[in-house]
Amino acid sequence: MEMTWEIQQPDAERVTRLCRALDLGTLAATLLVNRGISSVESARRFLNPSLSAIQAPPEVKDIQIAAERIARALSAKEKILVFGDYDVDGVTATAILLDFIGQAGGRVAHYIPHRRREGYGLRTRHISEVAAPGGYKLIISVDCGISSHAAVETANHSGIDVIITDHHTPADGPLPPALAVVNPKRTDCPACLEHLAGVGMAFYLLIQLRAHLRATGFWQGRPEPNLKNLCDLVALGTVADMVPLVGENRAFTRAGLGLMTASVRPGLVALMASSRIEPRHIEADDISFRLAPRINAAGRMDHADLALELLTTNDPARAQELARRLEELNSARQRTEQDIVDQIVTTLESEPQMQARPAILMHGEDWHEGVLGIAAARLMRRYAKPVILVAGRDDLARGSGRSLPGIDIFALLQTCADLLQAYGGHAMAAGLTIATDHWDAFCRRFWTQMEARPDTGESQQRLAVDMEISLDDVDQLLFSALAQLKPFGETVPEPVFMARDVEVVSQQIVAGRHRRMRLRSRNGRTRKPLSAIQFNVADTQRLPARPRRIAFHVRRHTWNGANGHQLHIIATDA
């Protein structure tokens, strides 16, 4: 894919002001201004995220109603069911509620549906087959529920109260008739917390619940849980769900990464070991690229209960056993995903008219539904357009879609709502269920809606470069400046550097699709070549020995016992 390389031109006066007011180096100040953080106060908050500075929970609509109802359930020893989603966000949200309610002496259990057999979200059968026969009087949904109207109505008729905690965008029309709907994206919620993940919303509920229990004297004679100890799980779900890493999310992630560096949670210790992560150096991208795929593999290839047990067990031996199982599932997921991507690429390369469409919409009878989201994400990045993949050979097909900045895939699905059995998600990612005989009509309408957009695909073709440097500038001063700005994540992107006059000292393709290299500056000081890696290269032909320019991130390199830094190549220009 052709990219336009754009070197950012930050306002020099703003950079100087941040340098002087906050005692920053020019590099760190430049990177802040490039991210729209140009006032002294906003930069100070960004650089020093604190749990003590997060917005007060009472601002969230219905959160006090939810806290009071849970408190009554605790006092009355009612059975509580936490109903979660099967991705990292849902699993971590489920885990923190189980932990807190359990510490408070609650009679609590959980249910996470099987991804392939049951699909996403709370449904009527979960009320009639799980909650009602189990004697549960309260259901708390996490990371789901905002579209579960029928299930909530069934629960109400069965005498079961429902509290929905979710962060997905509600569809047009009334909300589900739950006792409380704790979702910052509901139109009447005054809290400016739309950036929270599902686990962040669940954590907010726990903050409010603990405060309510404290005000009523509940903790007298029993230990009050330390909520900060749950921030490792909150950080895990927040980063994995790719929500904006700003405000409260930034505070949660900074605190959680700090806990992980000296983790005492057996499951995370075992998972970091199997992922070859050095805990004292863990960063947000380790969550994104190593921990999250392994946790998600449970729900994609087997059942998310495996991941939940890993994160909640206190038995180190059992944690190691579960971590090994997730490693096996993740390897199987990678093979399955690669097969699907290869099939689709072959089809698109052989049928140019399909590749010319404004979005890639494809249906496969035998595709594994559990990996369609990540396969769609890879294809979206490769072809710079929205991708929706569905699987199903009978009457219904289920699948996932991924989009790029500026193209709201959830809004596009809304324009096709009458053709869908169910759908949900947000601007960048969504899931859907569709009758197979509606698929062709859906594709035609979706393409028509895409063609009416003036900005289709353009945002993905622009590569924003923070600044041009020499490879000789990749030194300790650069590392220190980057450390001041971490963690990086969604809407707070990792800095992109560009270098010219680069010499490729050595290169080889590893694992069939990654290019490992040693690079150095042609005209700079004599120094040891730098390690570099370029993942998922579309063209495995050798790079020229002297490419015109390269774009890259600078990351810590600890793989296989290494202890240094490595360039992660984003793009090359021969």
Q: Of the residues 225, 244, 277, which one is the last residue of a structural domain?
A: 225
**In this structure, are strands 497-500 and 467-468 parallel, antiparallel, or unpaired?**
parallel
The residue among 254, 253, 240, 359 whose CA lies nearest residue 297 is 240
Considering the domain architecture, whether residues 502 and 396 belong to the same structural domain is answered as: no
Residue 432: inside a domain, yes or no?
Answer: yes
Q: Give the model confidence (pLDDT) of 155-196 as tens digits.
A: 999 999 999 999 998 988 999 999 999 999 999 999 999 999
The residue among 383, 331, 334 whose CA lies nearest residue 362 is 383
- What distance in Å separates the CA atoms of residue 557 and residue 567, rounded to the nearest whole number? 9
* Structure token pair of residue 140: 């708390």
Mean pLDDT within 297-309: 96
Asked if pLDDT for residue 458 goes beyond 70, the answer is no
Residue 285: inside a domain, yes or no?
Answer: no
Residue 235: inside a domain, yes or no?
Answer: no
Considering the domain architecture, whether residues 413 and 539 belong to the same structural domain is answered as: no
Specify the range with the lowest mean pLDDT, choosing from 197-201, 489-493, 496-500: 489-493
Asked if pLDDT for residue 457 goes beyond 50, the answer is no
What confidence score (pLDDT) does residue 76 get? 97
What confidence score (pLDDT) does residue 453 get? 73
Asked if pLDDT for residue 460 goes beyond 50, the answer is no
Whether the upstream peptide bond of residue 177 has omega within 30° of 0, thus cis, is no
Asked if pLDDT for residue 377 goes beyond 50, the answer is yes
Q: Which long-range contacts (CB under 8 A, 24 or more apart) does 520-527 make?
A: 520/471, 521/470, 521/471, 521/472, 522/546, 524/470, 524/471, 524/472, 525/472, 527/472
- What distance in Å separates the CA atoms of residue 331 and residue 293, rounded to the nearest whole number? 10
pTM of the predicted protein model: 0.88
Residue 296: inside a domain, yes or no?
Answer: no
Asked if pLDDT for residue 515 goes beyond 90, the answer is yes
Residue 96: inside a domain, yes or no?
Answer: yes
| 75 SS3 class | helix
Q: Give the model confidence (pLDDT) of 427-452 as tens digits.
A: 888 999 999 999 999 999 999 999 88
Q: Give the model confidence (pLDDT) of 386-403 as tens digits.
A: 999 999 878 999 999 999
| DSSP secondary structure code for residue 472 in this structure | G
What confidence score (pLDDT) does residue 2 get? 61
What confidence score (pLDDT) does residue 456 get? 45
For the chain, the domain total comes to 3
Residue 322: inside a domain, yes or no?
Answer: no
Asked if pLDDT for residue 539 goes beyond 80, the answer is no
% of the chain surpassing 70 pLDDT: 97
Considering the domain architecture, whether residues 363 and 509 belong to the same structural domain is answered as: no
Asked if pLDDT for residue 307 goes beyond 50, the answer is yes
In terms of phi and psi (left: phi > 0; alpha: psi -120 to 50; beta: otherwise), the region of 515 is beta
What confidence score (pLDDT) does residue 526 get? 53
% of the chain surpassing 90 pLDDT: 79
Find the CATH number of the domain harbouring 486: 2.40.50.460
Considering the domain architecture, whether residues 174 and 110 belong to the same structural domain is answered as: yes
**E strand or H helix that includes residue 429:** strand 429-435
Contacts of 504 (CB under 8 A, 6+ apart): 517, 518, 519, 543, 544, 545, 546, 547
Considering the domain architecture, whether residues 386 and 450 belong to the same structural domain is answered as: yes
Mean pLDDT within 515-540: 84
Mean pLDDT within 201-210: 98
Q: Of the residues 432, 458, 484, which one is the last residue of a structural domain?
A: 458
* Structure token pair of residue 219: 């903790």
pLDDT band at 475 (very low <50, low <70, confident <90, very high): confident
Q: Which residue has the higher pLDDT, 68 or 356?
A: 68
Mean pLDDT within 480-490: 90
CA dihedral 431, 436, 441, 446 (to 10 degrees): 20
Mean pLDDT within 471-483: 88
Considering the domain architecture, whether residues 556 and 502 belong to the same structural domain is answered as: yes
* Structure token pair of residue 145: 């529920």
Residue 487 is part of which domain span?
Answer: 4-8+462-573
Considering the domain architecture, whether residues 470 and 393 belong to the same structural domain is answered as: no
Q: Which residue has the higher pLDDT, 574 or 526?
A: 574
Find the CATH number of the domain harbouring 393: 3.10.310.30
- What distance in Å separates the CA atoms of residue 126 and residue 128, rounded to the nearest whole number? 6
Residue type, 284: A
286, 234 contact by CB (below 8 A): no
CA–CA distance from 503 to each of 252, 458, 499, 507, 537 (Å)?
41, 31, 11, 11, 19
Considering the domain architecture, whether residues 529 and 562 belong to the same structural domain is answered as: yes
Considering the domain architecture, whether residues 550 and 473 belong to the same structural domain is answered as: yes
DSSP string, 277-321: --GGG--HHHIIIIIHHHHHHHHHHS-THHHHHHHH---HHHHHH
Considering the domain architecture, whether residues 156 and 200 belong to the same structural domain is answered as: yes
Considering the domain architecture, whether residues 124 and 190 belong to the same structural domain is answered as: yes
Q: Of the residues 225, 246, 280, which one is the last residue of a structural domain?
A: 225
Q: Give the model confidence (pLDDT) of 98-143 as tens digits.
A: 999 999 999 999 999 998 888 889 999 999 999 999 999 999 999 9
What confidence score (pLDDT) does residue 557 get? 74
Considering the domain architecture, whether residues 77 and 182 belong to the same structural domain is answered as: yes
Residue 49: inside a domain, yes or no?
Answer: no
Burial of 220 (0-12, 13-18, 19+ CB in 10 A): exposed
pLDDT band at 18 (very low <50, low <70, confident <90, very high): very high
Residue 479: inside a domain, yes or no?
Answer: yes
CA–CA distance from 27 to each of 172, 366, 368, 467 (Å)?
45, 50, 45, 9
What confidence score (pLDDT) does residue 426 get? 81
Q: Which residue has the higher pLDDT, 559 or 252?
A: 252
Asked if pLDDT for residue 328 goes beyond 70, the answer is yes
Burial 101-136 (b: 16+ CB within 10 A, else e): beebebbbebbbbebbeebbbbbeebbeebbbeeeb
- What distance in Å separates the CA atoms of residue 517 and residue 557, rounded to the nearest whole number? 14
Find the CATH number of the domain harbouring 62: 3.90.1640.30
- What distance in Å separates the CA atoms of residue 4 and residue 460, rounded to the nearest whole number? 10
